[in-house]
Structure 1
Amino acid sequence: MKKVWQILLVGLLALGLALTASGCGGEKKSAQGTGEKKPIVVKFSHVVAESTPKGQAALKFKELLESKSNGQFKVEVYPSSQLYGDKEELEALRANNVQLIAPSATKLVGFNPAFQLVDMPFLFASDQAAYKFYDGEYGQKLLRSLESQGMLGLAWWPNGSKHFTNSKRPLKRPEDFKGLKFRTQSGGVLDEQFKALGAGSQTIAFGEVYVALQNKTVDGQENTFNNIDTQKYAEVQKYMTVSGHGRIDYVVLTNTTFWNSLTDEQKKLFTECMKEATDYERQLADELNQKSFENLKNSGKLEIYTLTDADRQAFIEAMKPVYDKYTDKIGKEYIEAARNTK
């Protein structure tokens, strides 16, 4: 009898311990259930300094999304190639190791040749015309064209229009380029551009351009006002032509797996914040280029010529061979839409 009671007692103790453990587990689960959700981490990697329009716009986007989502998102911005360099960031995005990057549009040509559009000479009538195209039907179609590659374009962030400088003579008409040699970024369109003008071209890394101009390896180059100013090209060039003939612009991309993991409400908020950051970036880019143009004029080191409408038309005629070669590769619909945007 005593043995029976001992067995019953052990059984009751075991049951009590089980109930206690179950109660503790339930409390823990309840605490977890009522706890705050972890924020969605968005890594934004880019290759330029924070002080640039792109760098400032990335920080503006972080500020907007974190604030408007009430902490639902946490944006980590990595400038100046801190996380990934120019060559690695696209693959990092496709692998969803980062959720946002903003490469130069020409870096996307291997995925879609239509992004060569920004290099096509004398295509856009003005900066504002370029912005209208980017925000319009065909600019947005281009942004969506990379979805099969695991990427979605969210915005166009301009750097600015390009202008010519050289050390030999004023460049007012197409024939003035004959025999000169220009530095270019890599890209077949740019080589064809100078070929159509009877000039030579050489691909030289951005950081080596000043020395190449100084040593007369090349006679001239093409760039935004801000790059011409901050890279001090006026010290090694004599003439600048305000041509606005091409563009250097960025595309903000996200990973499609990440994007599709968001709710419709989160996507809407993300898009609204990106739109606001884009407006901010464009304003900064415009102001910075205008300030640099004033700096270049006030320096007195450059003889500056601005193309007239007649001059521009002459260049458009000279560039027909470039369009004959690249229109089908880029897409006639994109070329015509860009050309007709005013």
Structure 2
Amino acid sequence: MFVKKMAMSVAALALSAALFAGPALAQKPIVIKFSHVVAENTPKGQMANKFRDLVAERLKGKVEVEVYPNSQLFGDNKVLEAMLLGDVQMAAPSLSKFSRYTKKLQLYDLPFLFENIDAVDRFQHGPAGQKLLQSVSKKGLIGLGYLHNGMKQLTASKPLRVPEDARGLKFRIMSSDVLAAQFKALGAIPLKKPFSEVFTLLQTKAIDGQENTWSNIYSKKFYEVQPYITESNHGVLDYMVVTSQEFWNGLPADIRAEVKSALDEAIAFGNQVAKEKAKSDKQKIIDSKRCTLIELTPAERAQWVEVMRPVWKKFERQIGKDLIDAAYASNQAK
């Protein structure tokens, strides 16, 4: 009898513990570790923090976003591997970092394809651009949206107005076959060098020029060691916010929808910050009077486009002619 009562008491205690623990376990939030490589005051950093705050506001107790800036968790070269292992749930590497996973995103390296950032926006929000987000799906990843750094400009030791002006000059590039082909088409010499070495290379005249966004040209003081900047808008330097299919598809449908809504809003905020920063940093460079700004006429820009068309053709098979055509068509405002 005593044993029977003892068993009943143990069962009751177990049930009570289960009932008590059940709600607590159910309330444990889903954690999203968001890793990125830049400071919190950058457009990317501000976007990530905005996303964290929106999720906290809308999904309090259900989802928690932890932001790790300045490569605290992973650098861009390792973060995608870590994501597939489940060590991080979101990141926003530059588009060039996806070359191991798909060749289609090389589209954004193609020179003189987009006229300005508004054309980039039209393409990215259109069906072709949205489809490109899924180009990494076969590797277990899902693109969730695009984030701007800005349009690239050319800086050089001499004025660059027409393609012929770049002949024989040495330009630093990121590790990209498309960018190498871009400068070879000009008769220039592309040199793959780390971003951290660019200022010294320019200062010592080991290279003659480089390509970058207004924010990078200003923050890294390239304008102090380059006498000329051509406002070429010849390429785009963007990021893709990405997650793993396993994590994303494992979220409950209602929570996934709320997280995506918050992310879309945060990306729109980050892109506006990026656009405003590009304008303000450009003006700071002009106000410094340290270099001469060259604005291309429509006729001059048309010459650059014609010289670059063979580069588009060279990578057409890897990227897709339909995507290149859709990107070029985005220059025509709807």
Confirm or deny: 8 A CA contact 2:143 2:241 kept in the other structure: yes
CA contact (8 A) 2:28 2:61 kept: no
Aligned residues of 2:173 and 2:211 also touching (Cα < 8 A)? yes
- 1:103 maps to 93
Distance 2:285 2:185 in 1: 28
Give the TM-score of the pair, scaled to structure 2: 0.97
Superposition deviation, residue 263 in structure 1 = 1.7
- Does residue 79 (structure 1) correspond to residue 69 (structure 2)? The answer is yes
Instruction: State the distance in 2 between where 1:227 and 1:87 align.
Output: 20
Residue 218 of structure 2 corresponds to which residue in structure 1? 229
- Aligned partner of residue 265 in structure 2, secondary structure: helix
Task: Report what 1:54 is aligned to.
Answer: 44
User: How far does residue 34 in structure 1 lie from its aligned partner after superposition?
Assistant: 3.5
Structure 1 counterpart of 2:239: 250
- Residue among 119, 132, 152 paired with 2:142: 152
Query: What amino acid is the match of 2:311?
Result: V
Greater radius of gyration (CA): 1
Q: 2: distance between equivalents of 1:302 and 1:71?
A: 53
Which residue, 189, 208, 214 being the options, matches 1:200? 189
Query: Does residue 313 of the first structure (1) align with residue 302 of the second (2)?
Result: yes
Tell me whether 1:326 sits opposite 2:311 in the alignment. Answer: no
| Structure 1: distance between partners of 2:3 and 2:118 | 78
**Large movers: runs of 4+ above 6 Å:** none
Of 271, 275, 291, the match for 1:286 = 275
| Secondary structure of residue in 1 paired with 2:187 | coil
Conservation of the 8 A alpha-carbon contact between 2:51 and 2:262: yes
Q: Distance in 1 between matches of 2:213 and 2:297?
A: 19
The equivalent residue for 1:6 is: none
- The AA in structure 2 aligned to 1:240 is I
C-alpha deviation, 1:70, in angstroms: 2.4
For residue 207 of structure 2, the aligned residue among 214, 218, 232 is 218
Aligned match of 1:123: 113
User: Is the contact between residue 172 and residue 198 of structure 2 (CA under 8 Å) also seen in structure 1?
Assistant: yes
Aligned-partner residue type, residue 110 of structure 2: M
Query: Equivalents in 1 of 2:177, 2:10: separation in Å?
Result: 71
- Match of residue 186, structure 1, among 150, 155, 175: 175
Provide the residue aligned with 2:104 in structure 1: 114
1:253 and 1:264 mapped to 2: Cα distance?
18
Alignment of 1:163-178 (within 5 A): 163-167=153-157, 169-178=158-167
Amino acid at match of 1:283: Q
Listed one character per residue, the Cα deviations across residues 108-131 of structure 1 (whole Å, up to 9, x for unaligned) are 122111111111011012101101
Query: Match of 1:198, SS?
Result: coil
Q: Distance in 2 between matches of 1:134 and 1:71?
A: 33
Q: What residue number does 1:143 align with?
A: 133
2:46 matches 1:42: no
- Aligned counterpart, 1:296: 285
Measured in 1, the distance between the counterparts of 2:64 and 2:10 equals 37
**Secondary structure of the structure 2 residue equivalent to 1:82:** coil
1:93: how far off? 0.8
Amino acid at match of 2:97: K
CA distance in 2 between counterparts of 1:146 and 1:17 reads 59
Give the drift of 1:323: 1.7
Q: TM-score, normalised by structure 1?
A: 0.94
Partner of 1:274: 263
Aligned to 1:341: 330
* Stretch deviating more after TM superposition (243-252 or 88-97): 88-97
- Structure 1 unpaired stretches of 5+: 1-11
- Residues matched between the structures, number: 330
CA distance in 2, matches of 1:320, 1:135: 24
In 2, distance between residues paired with 1:38 and 1:217?
A: 56
